[in-house]
Structure 1
Amino acid sequence: MATTPAVILETLYDLVDEEFKKFKWHLLNGGLTHSTIPRGMLDKADRSDVVDLMVQQYKESDVGEIAVNALISIKQNELANQLKRKLQKGPEDVPAGDGASSGGKTGTAQTAGVTMNINAARGGHVKAPVLHGGVFNGPVNFS
């Protein structure tokens, strides 16, 4: 699984220069609830520098949310949604080809005492929340 900074950097490369400039502006002035990165540091920063500055300035748990909010502020909603999905992916996600594939196949994945029956009869991917630190007896359904 890619790290949060790597996923953010990959996303920033999808912005054209003018959009990237606006992204940096929103880090400075966008009304974000977090402290801002000093203007002098952001002014000539390239995409990888911006990610490094974000990681240094903000809590690791906030960096992704801040990037998503800045993308929304510059009207890059689809890119923000893609980033959010990438950041939410966990190592427990079952990639296509390992049981969650199209073609109506059913697969079973087992991890650390967890059994999941996955059926992707209509094609695409099956995603489910990851449960940690609980005892679950019987079926658990998500809607």
Structure 2
Amino acid sequence: MATPKRVIYNTLENLKSDDFTVFIWHLENPTEGIEPIPESKLENANRQKVVDLMVKQYTDKAGTIAVKVLRDMKQNDLASDLERKLQGDVPAGGGASSSGTSVTPQTTGVTMTIRSSNGGTVNAPLIHGCVVNGSVNLNSKDKP
């Protein structure tokens, strides 16, 4: 499983030189609420150094900030791909049911059954940590 640092680096590898320069500019001049990385640290920085600086400055938010910068640059395909890969960077077996029993993550388009502590069941499509393009319908089947 790739680390967030490697996932960010691999994404930056897809930027052309001019786009990478724009990415760095956005880190020096971020939107409100994001601490800028000083220009002196980013001067002549290669992709590896930029990722290292981002992780040092933003810790666990480095991936989210990279996605935001890519969206600000109108690199929406790269941003969506990075976001999807970062969300997929969750250890297997990390979910839990309402009864506290571990739930194995499922693949896209699967319905899973969760047994509650009072003996009832909940059938729900797995939608956590995914990107949905288009409409989604969730129907409730209440029993009297």
Deviation above 2 Å: which 4+ runs of structure 1? 90-93, 112-116
Q: Confirm or deny that 1:4 pairs with 2:4.
A: yes
The 1:115/1:3 distance shift into structure 2, 3 A limit, reads: closer
Report the CA distance between 1:136 and its aligned residue.
4.8
Counterparts in 2 of 1:64 and 1:113: CA distance versus 1, 3 Å: closer
The Cα of 1:113 is off from its aligned counterpart by 4.5
- Give the aligned partner of residue 35 of structure 2: 35
Give the TM-score, by structure 2 length.
0.68
Does residue 126 (structure 1) correspond to residue 108 (structure 2)? The answer is yes
Q: What is the correspondence of 1:1-143 to structure 2 with a 5 Å cutoff?
A: 1-60=1-60, 62-89=61-88, 90-92=90-92, 113-114=102-103, 126=108, 136-137=115-116, 138-142=121-125, 143=138
| Same amino acid, percent of matched pairs | 41
1:32–1:66 CA contact under 8 A, matched in 2: no
**Matched residues in 1 for 2:59 and 2:87: separation?**
17
Aligned twin of 2:141: none
| One-letter amino acid of the structure 2 residue matched with residue 27 of structure 1 | L
Paired residues of 1:30 and 1:73 also in contact (CA < 8 A) = no
Offset, 1:33: 1.7
Determine if contact 1:11/1:83 at 8 Å carries over to the other structure: yes
Structure 1 residue identity aligned to 2:7: V
Partner of residue 132, structure 2: none
Q: For residue 126 of structure 1, what is the amino acid of its counterpart?
A: T
Structure 1: gaps (5+ residues): 94-111, 119-124, 129-134
Structure 2 residues not aligned, in runs of 5+: 94-100, 126-137, 139-144
Q: CA deviation at 1:115?
A: 6.0
Q: Report if the CA contact (8 A) 1:28-1:38 is conserved.
A: yes
Amino acid aligned to 1:140: N
Give me the CA root mean square deviation.
Answer: 2.4
Cα deviation 1:82-125 (Å, max 9, x = unaligned): 000000002338xxxxxxxxxxxxxxxxxx74367x6xxxxxx5
Structure 1 residue 59: Cα displacement:
2.7
Instruction: State the 1:32 CA deviation.
Output: 4.5
User: Distance between the aligned counterparts of 2:4 and 2:30, measured in 1?
Assistant: 21
* Cα distance change of structure 1 residues 51 and 140 upon mapping to structure 2, 3 Å threshold: same
Report SS of the residue matched to 2:28: helix
Q: Give per-residue Cα distances to partners, 1:27-70, cap 9 Å, x unaligned.
A: 1113152211110110110000000000111131x111100011
What TM-score do the two structures reach when normalised by structure 1? Answer: 0.68
